[in-house]
Chain A
Amino acid sequence: MIPIPHTWVLLLSAVLFMIGSMGVLLRRNGIAIFLSLEIMLNSANLVFAAFALKLAHEGQMAAAAAGQLFVFFIIAVAAAEAAVGLALFIAIHRLKESIDVDRLNILRW
């Protein structure tokens, strides 16, 4: 089995981060924005995993563990964010019968 170089993983994560951030900026549906946010956080997870892999190949196991730990914390934070975000979307849907963010435009200039 040929090991995958960590630069490839970094490249993939950069692509994912771009997809996520573009999604947040361009999509108008609340849930789609939400999914894009999750993609952004998970692309950061991939970077941590990639660097941890590199450090593990170099034999620095303690340093690798620090990065892998960070991943678990990001996953937990993403879950908490999901709880808060979905609650917000439900509250908005009750008031507006829609979660299209373009319909929320009272505050401007």
Chain B
Amino acid sequence: MTSVTSTVPVPSGGAQRTVVPWAKAGIIFKASLTPGSAYVAIMVTGSHGIRMQDDFTGDIAGPAMRAGWLRLVRAGATITGYGSPDGVRWTRVGTVTLPGLPPTVPGGLFATSPQYSQTSDGVASISGSPSQSTAVFGQVTLTWHGSTWTGTNVGGSSGGAAGPGTGYSRTGSGFAITGSGDIAPATSGASGIGVTIAQTLSGVFIALIILAVIGAMFITAEYRRGLIRVTLAACPRRGQVLAAKAAVIGLVAFAAGLAGASVAVPLGQRLLRSHGAYVWPVTALTELRVIVGTAAVIALCAVLAVAIGTVLRRGAAADAAVIALIVVPYVLTVPIPVLPLGVADWLMRVTPAAAFAVEQTVIQYPQVDDVYAPAYGYYPLAAWAGFAVLCAWVALALALGYVTLSRRDA
């Protein structure tokens, strides 16, 4: 393995030489030439050193080298990968067991070059394009009796993104291979494909605004009309009044949210697919979690509005507070991603909008470069953790509401 060099097209036309961090080149054993079949590979990457990867999700880090010697040894179902700076001193990178591997497998050389993307400020300004990488294999040896190299191009010929330059050529004792595309798990997002089912719930922010208004007015209207005095005279235990209000609005909002989400998610998926969009498939259980989770977020938002309304006693102020806390962070990071990624991630950790992590259905892979932004369904917190953030906010607001309601004159 002598070198890996990459080019990416630049917006103004032409191409620019650069290092695509996850450009890969090396040796691969694959169960068959069918896309998606089991494989194991040892490779040099653009800037992540030597790696051994298998079956798309497996990834073992080896020595940090941008060039060097690679070796892949098979013994039954066990494959061991080695790397070396000089071809003499070898380091074992990893051992992988692939039980489904047939006795005879095709082995070969490969070069890949994933979609190259860069974010310069919010997700709204991501520029990405297919890249191409050329790997020069200086010397190739086989320690298997009776085999010779045959030249078969696998992949890279589907046109379009692959570009015209992919293929291989002989260079003395080795090969130069140019590839585009990736052998890796697919992701959603700027460098990935498709949308997640969270896309079908983009309208939730309207529900949140409506429930912020209803929730806040549920208590502030009483203050405005003086009804609160009658209420508190009829039910002197003030904590109970607040609890009852929170329970009623929460249940109503949950029922409404559940009805809305259970229509929107299946219907939205069908619509998206009928328009040719790729929607990331999810299990029925995950879909249920997204629907019920979204309804719970809507319900807790209404409870938050009641609690803040109790503290502030003024409808517009309570509304504005709830909208600023949950709707604005959500809208500016997910449906209209204008905020820089760092800010978006931070907001999705600390504001009540973190609870939208319940809509997370895709996995981040460290070995795949992508823009892992909330707008593409990647939240910084796990579903339950994000939801816990909202619960903490609601608990805090309810406690404040209880204290102010108990201590103040009505």
User: Do the two shown chains form a genuine complex with each other?
Assistant: no
